[in-house]
Structure formats: C-alpha cells, structure tokens
A and B are shown apart, each in its own frame.
Chain A
Amino acid sequence: MNRFFLERYGLTQTDLERYLAAALEEGGDYADLYFEHTTVSSLLLDESLVKTATEGISMGCGVRVLAGEQTGYAYTDDLTPEKIIKVASIAARIARGPARVSRLGLAEASPTNNLYPVALPATDCDLAEKLALIRRADQAARAYDARIHQVRVTYGDQIRHVLIAGSDGRVAGDFQPLVRIGVFAIAQENGKFQAGSSGGGGRVGLEFFESETTPEHFAREAARQAILQLEAREAPAGDMEVVLGPGWPGILLHEAIGHGLEADFNRKGISAFSGRLGQRVASEICTVVDDGTLPGRRGSLNMDDEGEPTKRNVLIEQGVLKHYLQDRLSATILKSAPSGNGRRESYEHIPLPRMTNTCMLAGHEDPQEIIRSVKRGLYAVSFGGGQVDITNGKFVFSASEAYLIEDGKVTAPVKGATLIGDGPTVLTRVTAVGNDLKLDPGIGTCGKNGQSVPVGVGIPTIKISRLTVGGTSLKQLQAFQ
C-alpha cells in the first residue's frame, strides 16, 4: 500500500523517520505525517448538454505535533524533502521542552480488511463510460413525465491515496475510491415550478450503477419528487406525532445524537451530552451504532485519518449512552480506547472526531402497523440537510418529501418543512421501531469546523410521539387538536 508514495515521490522509511524527528525537535508527546494524493474528476450535464468535464490532482503532506492538549499543524503541497522538513519545524513550534518520545522505529501496520475491493476505480474508467451514465439519467428523468422541465445531472469520483506515519512507530496506508451521481429535476405546471433530487454512490466502482441503483433509478426518483411537489399542500405547524421512513431519515441520528457524542465537545464539557455516559438518553427499543466497517459504504474506511482501524462502535445500547466518538487526542485526554473516528477533509486539516455510518438497529414492528397506529401526524420519508447546536442540543433536519397521516393512513403530500427537536430527549420519545432498517443511498456529506467528510446514515421506520414540525399551516394544526 505504501508503494504509491515510494514509487511516485521516492518516499522511504528513512525519510519518514527524518521528518518525524524534525517534527519532534522542540519536544512534544506525539507527531504524525499525513501524505495524501487525491485525483478527482467530475461531470455536469445540464439542459441535456455535457457542459463541464473537470479533472484535478491535489497532493500534499500535513505534519502534526501533539504536546499535552496542544496541537501544532503545518502542511505543504510540495513533497520535496526540504519543504516537508520546513513544515515539520513549523508544526514543532507548539512544543517546548524535551521530547517525550523515545524511539522512532517505524513498522508498517498489518493490513486491515479491505472494505472497498474495487477492481477498476471509477477515476480510471473511460470518460465515455461515465458520460453514458449521466446521459441515461437525463433521458430517464425527462421520460418520466411531460411536466419535467429541467434536468441537471452531476457525476463525481475520486481516488485518495494516504500514508500515515506516527511517532508511536505506526505506518499505515490506504487507497480510498469514492463515486457519486446526483440528479436534480424541476417540474413545471401552470407556471409553477417544483424541484426534486436524488442520487447515490459509495466506495465502489462503476458497476454499482449496473443493477437496482441505476442512473435511471435515481433519475425517476428525482422526477417523481418534483412532480409530487406540484400537488403538495402547506405543511402543518406545531408539535405532533411523526413517523420517519427508513433510510435517509437516519439523518435524525446524525444531528440529534451523533455530533453531540463527538469526544472533542465532550472532553471540553460543551456538549449537551457531556457527562452523560451510562445515562438513559433514548427509549429502550433504541440501539444506535456508528459503523465504519460496512463494505463499500460512503462513510466507511479501512482506517481513519490517524491510521487507526475503523470499528463498529455502539453509541446507545437499549437506550443507554455507551460511548463517545474518539480521535487520538480526545481518547488520550479522556483515557479512553480509540474508536477509529479521527478524520480529516484533507492534508490541509487537523483530525477531529467524526462520524462514519450512523445507524439505528432494526426493531420488531411492521412499518405498516406503525403508520396505522397514528391518528394524526406527519410521515416524512426524504430529507435535505440538517444542523445542530451542540451546546443546547437543539437540532433540525429538513423534510423534502412528507405526507399527512390521517386516521392511520398516509394521505396528502405536504411541502418541505424543517423539523426541530432536542437531541438528548428526542429518542426517549421513540415509541416504535420497525423491522426494516435501510441505509441511505450514499450521498451524505458532513461539515464540522469547516471540514467536509463523506458519511452515511441508516434507520428503520420509527415513530416519535412528539416533534415540532415547522410548516406554515395553522389551520391544519387546529384540525389536529
């Protein structure tokens, strides 16, 4: 795995040891080097024209020095030895005093699982093959309904080679493919316009798009949503019973629970979940995991961006808070085991505790029964983005496809609306968990402190006894009460 940087840049073990020694010349507890070489390519099809093809390479090395709770960081996009030594010396300035690292014998970590055994990475495939995919999506979206007025298809892939060398002697490398297609459709009727979107991908090759998750599938899904919105009525406003469909609505977990459990916020005591390990934060039918080891998933990694193998971490077990998501620094300070969640956007960034694929495990209930049990409520099946205030725990996520439930039946589609709740209490109101766990289609990106990383979510159908729905209709609310 490490041959990439050896072959391309002549990077040897002796070099790594020399750079680490430079990083620790002022002292410090630990240093690491993060070498990255990423090739990306993207395509845009708009108005049935391939308007853009883009390709590029970004590469560089980030040097980190840890001294107590302090981090020194510097990076360069020039991989010559002089430049790397120079940035290592800059990162070293954080530390004062003798180095607390005794030996620098590097040893390559034994290979972990290969979660993404892609025969031919998408980045290496012919442009013609990728163009065919986006053209198929365009045609399928337009063929779906005569009211489809505009279609835009985006395609992107990347290959990321990384090599991490730490002053604890660990050297670990990985090769991380990623691919994604997105379809955006606009429907028009009587001068009114409505939008729909869909997409999917993962750490897979182009064969991912051959069956089921075809370009046509995503295209029809985007078109269906746009057409559906043409007849959507005002969303209700206020507290009500909410049923979330399986899959993408798992963004609830990401916002309500996941961010608040990232260990950096907790060691600093600024998360609404700080000091709550061992406490009940969900009803006992809820078990939530963050699993970086699901094969081929967008949020999966063989190792995190500190060289630690990823794991399946149980965050909430039968309602009780079990674990935080750790990076190296937080795990050291909290004297906790590393969890394989130290991630960074690129060599330009300091690692932080981040999620991978965050899922609620399946329960026993029949999803149809769950819907039938609701007299008046909202059934939300597709979401756009979400956000959370870590400190007070208030989170939002925005439904892009939702329906009213009336007398146990799914009835009229309603316009998009934001749902708002309180992270530490929302899962205590989960009164039913379906047997239909589904993962998202593979398009999620999470932002934190200005760093974006690919993530996944998953959830079965669940019922929440009370959640605030941010619609506009007061009338419907009155009818509900």
Chain B
Amino acid sequence: MSENHLEKIAAGLVERAIAAGGSAADVIMYEADEFSTTVRLGKVENLKEAASRALGLRLFLGARSATAFSSDFSDSSLERLVKRTLEMARATSEDPASGLPEPKLLGAYAGDLELYSGDIGELSPETRIEMARRAEAAALAADPRIKNSEGAWFEASQGCKAYANSLGFSGSYQTSYCAISVAPVAQDGGMQRDYWYSVARRASALESPEAVGQKAAERALRKLGARKISTCRVPVIFDPETARSLLSHIFEAVRGDAIYRSASFLAGKLGEKVANSNLTVLDDGLRPGGFGSRPFDDEGIPSGITPVIEAGVLRNYLLNSYTARKLNLSTTGNASRGVAGPPGVGPKNFYLVAGPQTPAKILQSVKSGFYVTDLIGFGVNIVNGDYSRGASGLWIENGELTYPVEEVTIAGNLAGMLNQIQMVGSDLEFRGALAAPTLLVEGLTVAGA
C-alpha cells in the first residue's frame, strides 16, 4: 500500500468520525513488513516474516475524548469503531486541557530526513541470513574460549506511518530499519555472555558483520573471571551503552506528563541549574537517518531541535500538546502514539552533547574506580531520583582497566549524579534514538561483599 493510500484511509476515517457527531478527531496508522532471522552455531534457527497494519482513532466530544484501534480496515469494521469510540467518549470526563494542537502549529519538515532506503528491501533472505552467520562466525573465531553462542540476528523492517486530523492536516512518511546483532558466550570455568550490534536505516550504513562479531567477542571475553568487590564509594565511569541508560532516565524526568503530575525530580526546575555545567542535552528531530527523526510528530507538529539542558541549566521540558496546555507552555513536538490510546511523550534524537575528553583520558584520570559496562534491573525512581541498579564491569586501578567485576550494585540519587558528572567523553555515537558518550560520575555507592 502506498503512503498516499494510507493517508487517504486516515483522512477518510477522520471525516467519518466528524460525520458521526465527533467535534474533532485524529487518526494514526501504521503498516510494516517485518523480517528476522536467528543463526546459531552456523545454522538457521528461526526465520520469521510478516506484514501487519493497524490504525488508531481518537474522537473528541468537546472536552471529552476516547480512543479505539483495529487492524481491520473494512467499511463495516470502521463504522463500528467510530460508533464505539463515540459511546466511550460520552462516558469520559471533561478535561479542559484535552484537544488537538493549535491549527497554526501544524506542519511538516520539508527536507529529506533519510528515514527510508530501498537497499534493505533489495537484500535477499539468503544475504540476510549470511550476514548473521558471518557475525557469529567472527565471534566464534575470535578466541578458543568462545565455543557457544546464544545466536546472531539479522532484522529488517520497512513501514509507513500516516496521520490525519480534523483540522485539515494529513501526512505520511516511510521508514526503514535493519540490524545485525550477536551474543557469544565465553567459557573459562564460569560462563559469560555479552552482545554487540549495528543498526541503521539503510543497509549500506551497517557495520561489517565481522566487526560486530569481533566486538561482541571482546565484550564477552573481558568478563571472564569476574569477581565481587567490597562495598565502597568510588568514581564510576559509564561506558557509552550504560551512559545511554542514564540519559533515558533524564528523558523520563523531563517528559511533560511526569512534570505536571509532580512525578519527576526535575519538576518545577525550569531555568535552574540541575546538572554540572559540562552537560548539554538536546532533543533533535532532524538528524538525517536518525532513529528519532521524523518530519512531524504524532499530532502533526513539525520536528525541530529542543535544547533540554544547556550547560547544566534546565531549558525545556519535552511536551505534546496536552502536557503543554497543562503546564501553560508550547508543545515541543514530542507527541508519540501507538495505535492504542492517546498520544504520550516520546524522544526524538535525545542526546548528550560530546565533551572534550577522549575515553582514554577519562580512564587515566581515575586512580581507583569502577568502569560500568552492564546495568540490570529497574531500581530507578524518577519521582525522587533514587537510583540503585545491578552492575558489572571492570575495576580501574591507576588509570587502567584491571579485573572484571560482577554481582554489585551502584546507587545514588539522579539529582546528585547529574551535578557530579565530572567528565564528558568525546565518543558520542548514535545507535538508537538516545545517545551519550562516556561519562565519569562521582559520589556513587558500589555495594558488594
């Protein structure tokens, strides 16, 4: 189905909702082809292929609203959908902040964001399987202690998204995505697993399967012989992967819905210094080929660039039109919506701007400390900033990585941690919508034996 065709169905459903008595309405639609394969120990383990589509309707009756979704686009099904949504809308509360965005704000970025590439579709299933096989083979060949693997994966998807509302906006765009990943298991007495991956919106931008496999092997190997350490308070270095998780907590803390509910440690801090002055965080919807890039958000607001933290000062929350109205601010174009339910708040390319120090320089600055490579668990409380997660990584002694460490936790408070980021690395790389470089943070408690 073409983009245009999806857009027409969306606009048609909006019209139908208004004709049935809705005072306003909007529709979001997705259509996607999905492919994934798992290769394990050289053999194809899984091969999965599918096409799917779905739409979500939001209908307003003045200040009341309801939503419904379906994957059945037949006339009779859409008729029922509208009728049912109308009935539900009558039962909800009047919410003065509800409604579509202001008409004058609607629009789409006109330039090419490079969100779609036809080269992914041109890869045959055999080529895709071969890329996974090569990644795993490279990991297995890296060292005799790697004899097993959880598998290697190649995934690809191509899709189209359309949005239309009763203010006359309609738009659609195509996206594509592909990824290679591999999870080798290193064995030497104990077992350790790790993984590595490469993702891109075009096949030609993927790293070589061999490079991905080699990196995955190195990550698993360096964990062998891991031990517990004694409880201590030391400087902690987050590698770019774990630093990205810290950034995800910052995102959770600046989303408008957490702010208006007082459910964030950053609520009420606009214009205040909330982080060390070496910290700048941007939300950029316009990076070419970015995983968080898009011409317009899921309410028809054109993408732009929002400074979130500038030199440690909190400049903006991230908002959709609902949370903007709740806070008497303007939407930042961060509406994000699946087919089920109303728009929430999602990141565009949300990243921490690279700093001056190379990762090697940061490491050299630490006499003894903990270099974190893995974090597990959900021990993060955005309401008060309390932070406590399971960690593993490597011990730092005199500026060098020494032995691997496991079965410890790191704990602190996010509000304090943001102010104790002593160094920001120069190694920023985008491997998803969120990205951060290496970070050195002081004041964390490492709990162990």
Interface, chain A (partner B; CB < 8 A):
40, 42, 46-47, 49-60, 69-77, 87, 90, 93-94, 127-128, 131, 149-150, 152, 186, 188, 192-195, 229, 235, 237-239, 268-270, 272, 348, 350, 384-392, 394-398, 415-418, 420-422, 468-474, 477
Contacts and interface: CB of A to CB of B under 8 A. Distances in A.
B112 interface: no
Contacts of A238: 231, 447-449
A93 B381 contact: no
A347 B88 CA distance: 28
Nearest to A55: B68
Interface in B140-165: 148-150
Contacts of B191: 270, 272, 391-392
B168 interface: no
B412 to A, nearest CB: 6
A458 B105 CA distance: 52
B84 interface: yes
Q: Can you list the 3 inter-chain pairs with the closest CB atoms, starting with the nearest? A: A470-B409, A396-B390, A396-B377
Contact of A396 (B94, B379, B412): B379
B70 interface: yes
B193 A417 contact: no
B192 interface: yes
B406 A394 contact: yes
Contacts of A390: 193
Contacts of A471: 388, 411, 445, 447
Interface residues of B, number: 81
Given A389-B392, A392-B193, A472-B388, 12 more contacts: A42-B340, A51-B93, A56-B340, A70-B43, A73-B47, A76-B51, A193-B267, A237-B411, A386-B378, A396-B389, A397-B377, A470-B447
Contacts of A87: 50
A350 B46 contact: yes
A239 B411 CA distance: 14
B193 A420 contact: no
Interface string B226-253: 1010010100000000000000000000
Interface in B241-285: 261-263, 267
Contacts of A469: 409, 447
A270 B339 contact: no
A348 B379 contact: no
B295 interface: no
Contacts of B233: 474
B346 interface: no
Interface in B14-53: 40, 43-53
Q: Which of A46, A77, A477 has the most CB of B within 10 A?
A: A77
B contact patch SS: strand
Contact of A420 (B45, B262, B390): B390
Given A73-B47, A471-B388, A391 B66 contact: no
A270 B187 CA distance: 10
20 contacts: A47-B261, A52-B66, A53-B91, A55-B66, A56-B56, A57-B69, A57-B72, A60-B52, A70-B45, A75-B50, A152-B261, A186-B261, A193-B384, A235-B411, A239-B449, A268-B40, A387-B390, A418-B377, A468-B407, A472-B388
Contact of A421 (B69, B223, B407): B407
Contacts of A128: 91
Interface of B: 40, 43-54, 56, 65-72, 84-85, 87-89, 91-95, 98, 125, 148-150, 185, 190-193, 223, 226, 228, 231, 233, 261-263, 267, 339-342, 374, 376-379, 381, 383-384, 386, 388-390, 392, 406-413, 445-449
Given A60-B71, A193-B384, A418-B389, A53 B379 contact: no
Contacts of A269: 148, 185
A184 to B, nearest CB: 8
Given A270-B150, A384-B379, A468-B407, A391 B193 contact: yes
B117 to A, nearest CB: 23
B153 to A, nearest CB: 10
B148 A468 contact: no
B445 to A, nearest CB: 5
A258 B408 CA distance: 21
B390 A470 contact: yes
A387 B85 CA distance: 38
A128 B413 CA distance: 42
Nearest to B446: A237
B70 A90 contact: no
B11 to A, nearest CB: 21
A194 B382 CA distance: 10
A195 B381 contact: yes
Given A74-B48, A186-B263, A398-B379, A54 B231 contact: no
Given A74-B50, A150-B262, A94 B193 contact: no
Contacts of A72: 46-48
A436 B401 CA distance: 48
A348 B50 contact: yes
A186 B264 CA distance: 11
A131 B149 CA distance: 50
Q: Which of B45, B67, B93, B226 has the most CB of A within 10 A?
A: B93
A418 B223 CA distance: 22
Nearest to B228: A468
A94 B43 CA distance: 11
Nearest to A384: B378
Contact of A418 (B49, B411, B412): B411
B388 A54 contact: no
A40 B340 contact: yes
A52 B322 CA distance: 13
